[in-house]
């Protein structure tokens, strides 16, 4: 397997794994390569340095900006829910089911439910989604 650092015409960077360099060339010529961010087919290889042990830059270093962006987005979602929805605590499953069945007025809620309760809600078609976890404190990040 060979890993190529790829980039699209809109400068979105991503990687692709291929069985050989010929596999990359074949897929590129047939228009099968596509940017996972914007779906652009104008994809090309980036210049890559070989992976040599002892280099300072690691995959972790490359992932940090994306990780920080995701943590920030998750924190914004959580804050929005906490500021605008009603916390029903451990009565979440009961309240969500009652709203789904039209027994109580529909409103934004959040709370806690057991895995078994969540499974039953999903199986019954009740729309639920997990609340993102609280973002870690800066002192807890590596």
Q: Is residue 39 scored above 80 in pLDDT?
A: yes
C-beta separation of 37 from 14 below 8 A: yes
pTM for the whole thing? 0.51
Q: Where are the domains of the chain?
A: 2-45, 59-129
Q: Which of 11-25, 62-76, 113-127 has the lowest mean pLDDT?
A: 62-76
d(CA 95, CA 104): 8
Residues 18-31, mean pLDDT to the nearest whole number:
89
Length, in residues, of the chain: 142
**Percent of the chain at pLDDT exceeding 90:** 45
Q: What is the pLDDT of residue 100?
A: 95
Q: Is residue 54 scored above 80 in pLDDT?
A: no
127-136 burial: b if 16+ Cβ within 10 Å, else e: ebeeebeebe
* 56-115 per-position pLDDT tens digit: 555 566 667 777 788 888 888 999 999 999 999 999 999 999 999 999 999 999 999 999
d(CA 14, CA 121): 37
Q: Is the dihedral of CA 66, 60, 22, 45 positive or negative?
A: positive
Q: What is the pLDDT of residue 140?
A: 56
């Amino acid at each position: 397997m060979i890993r190529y650092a790829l980039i699209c015409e809109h400068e979105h960077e991503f990687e692709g794994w291929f069985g050989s360099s010929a596999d990359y060339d074949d897929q590129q010529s047939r228009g099968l390569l596509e940017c996972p961010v914007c779906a652009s087919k104008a994809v090309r290889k980036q210049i890559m340095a070989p992976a040599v042990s002892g280099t300072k830059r690691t995959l972790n270093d490359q992932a940090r900006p994306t990780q920080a962006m995701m943590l920030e987005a998750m924190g914004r979602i959580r804050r929005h829910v906490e500021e605008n929805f009603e916390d029903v605590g451990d009565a979440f499953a009961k309240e969500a089911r009652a709203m789904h069945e039209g027994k109580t007025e529909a409103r934004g809620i959040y709370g806690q439910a057991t895995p078994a309760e969540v499974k039953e809600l999903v199986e019954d078609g009740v729309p639920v989604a997990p609340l993102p976890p609280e973002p870690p404190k800066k002192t807890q990040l590596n």
